Amino acid sequence: MEKITVVGSGYVGLVSGTCFSEIGNRVICCDVDPFKIAMLRKGEIPIYEPGLKELVKKNVDADRLFFTSEIGDAIEASDIIYIAVGTPMGDNGEADMRYVHEVARTIGKHLNSYKIIVNKSTVPVGTGEQVRQIIMENRKNRFVQFDVVSNPEFLREGSAIEDCMNMERAVIGATSDKAAKRIADLHAPFRTRIFQTNLESAEMIKYAANAFLATKISFINGIANVCERVGADVTSVAAGMGLDSRIGAKFLQAGIGYGGSCFPKDTFALSYIAEEAGFDFSLLKSVIAANDEQRLVVVDKLKQALGCLEGKKIGVLGLAFKPNTDDMRYAPSLTIIPELVRLGAYVRAYDPIAMQAARNQIAEYYEDFETLEEALEGCDACLILTEWSEIVEMDLARVKQLLTAPIIVDGRNCFSVREMKEREFVYYSVGRPAVTTGSANASAAKTVSL
């Protein structure tokens, strides 16, 4: 059993700390926000992640998981200190490192015995050395030793518990073999593949992995836009591409682009890192630009379907950037809904989980409703932005009754083109043939190619 402190009880820190306690370690999760700590002590979870509340309760009841805002005391009581604080994107794309540096200073001031300091946050190359220097400058006893390790996270929101308990790999970057082995042993119960390298390479692996996945998404969206113009179906194209073992099928789902806390921030940060190193990463810049542009293709499709958006009621389904999370960071809805309003539309919105989080950011642009049906009633068209299971499985016959015209613009390709044609919907998706021969009011649909 290891005694672990995780500094930062946000998404990464809370999930990682809880999973470390689940495999038998004593874990203290810390945060400077006393309100968040008070919530956690009462069994309330400040984020939405399936299965997390139950796992937290289980390990709190087993006296393996604890919460505190007394960060110094927690550091002194533990042997392994994980840094899991935010590294938000600055105005120029650079990762904001103030929180990581502050934690390093706190660790230095409370370094009372040998400890392994582990960077879990997504950080630029060179952060491990920065953390080491800051701790050395702030430690009261220069004879107390420590090691710094990079152990980046690879959690997907909505399936983070599964990803952690059944992780594909654990990347461990360290200058000390002793520290690397101890962190590798910590991961042994996860039965995962250990990849050991130096600090700088471990830090780069996280950025490189996310940037590559973002590139796959922007690429398939570009292919989708070409498919629409030449009569191909991007779902068939992606399936055929995915059969090539060199490519693989994952992250080839065409839609309205990526969002969330990782891909947007990490692609900008890597572009900045490259720029500072003297390399113009033009490919990555194109990926970012393509993703920004892709969000608005559904607005163009609504224009095709309705002709003009002035005075039209649009029922928007899904606000979070992906299903099974309430995360609104860089969600496509944050761009699309204000654009609809700018064009004169009236937006009625629904999301099963992210409603409150969305209100905090764009409440002035739309009216929200407690049910999907309420949001769609009397609307001129339905716009799908998040593929929640409730939306994918919605009663299309009922949707047709609720809408004033049977028009759906689907930014996530939730339904088959064949089914929508059989049901006589006017249906626009991404990278697939449009269905413009719906029943009542179908003549309003335009047939001009995007």
Active-site residue set: 262
Angle, CA 58 vertex, CA 179 and CA 122 arms, to 5°: 40
Q: What is the dihedral of CA 302, 353, 395, 436, to 10 degrees?
A: 10
Tokens 């003009």 found at: 308
H-helix segments, 277-416: 282-294, 297-306, 333-342, 355-362, 372-376, 389-392, 396-402
Distance CA 215, CA 287 (A): 6
Residue type, position 288, single letter: I
Q: How far is CA 413 from CA 100, 114, 251, 318, 333, in A?
A: 40, 53, 14, 13, 16
Q: For the chain, state the CA radius of gyration.
A: 24
For residues 97 and 124, is the Cβ–Cβ distance under 8 A?
yes
Distance CA 387, CA 177 (A): 45
What are 6's strand-pairing partners? 29, 82
Residue ranges of the binding site for substrate: 154-157, 206, 251-255, 259, 322
Tokens of 403: 């809408």
Extended strands (E) in 169-271: 169-174, 193-197
Residue ranges of the binding site for NAD(+): 31, 36, 87, 122, 157, 265, 329
Extended strands (E) in 21-138: 26-30, 65-68, 80-83, 115-119
Q: How many residues does the chain have?
A: 450
